[in-house]
Amino acid sequence: MSARRRLPAAVLAAACLLAACGGGGTRGGSGRVAGQKLYDWVACMRDEEIDVPTPTRDRDGNLVVTGDGFDIRPPQAGGPTQARFGRYSAEQMQDAQDVCGLPPMLAPGVAGVTLRAHVLARLRAFARCMRAHGVAGYPDPDPSDPTLAAPEVDPTDPQGPAATTACQGTAPR
């Protein structure tokens, strides 16, 4: 495992749950093909000696990683406020995630259709709020983006910090 930068456990847990990372498209539907990004992440973590349980579907159709002390699922899907990593320390998880990245919990086929629609609606509301608070060029979210991440705020925009604070209540949780 690599020994790059270290993050405090709380930061790592928040990143796992809230970053909603992922990438690349996957085919729709259910099962392994639809959630391939998450299965690939699990395989990578196992290669890094973190024995992550095989993902399963919850009652809402989201792929989740639970069991053996793990609980990694989007907070929007009833997940914990902090991810649980079983018997592994935050340092061990960080080392593996330096190689594998964060789990792609909002990628198509991982997050259920209802959860993706909810997050997209909140991102659209956030974009409208940002524009209403003076960030005129703030873009709408890209619904084809597998991460459903909020677009970055231009760091040179003087309205950015105040708008971000004012719009926090509309951002996905």
Q: Where are the domains of the chain?
A: 9-100, 113-170
- Asked which of 32-36, 97-101, 114-118, 157-161 is least confident by mean pLDDT, the reply is 32-36
- pLDDT at position 64 is 87
- pLDDT at position 105 is 76
Rg (CA), the chain: 17
Residues 123-147: pLDDT tens digits?
899 999 999 999 998 999 888 776 6
Q: Which carries the bigger pLDDT value, residue 82 or residue 150?
A: 150
Residue 26 has pLDDT above 50, yes or no: no
pTM exceeds 0.85: no
* Alpha-helix runs per DSSP H in the chain: 9-18, 36-47, 90-100, 113-132, 160-167
- pLDDT at position 52 is 93
Q: How is 46-80 classified by DSSP, letter by letter? A: HHTT--PPPPEE-TTS-EEEEETTEEE--GGGT--
Residues 41-55: pLDDT tens digits?
999 999 999 999 999
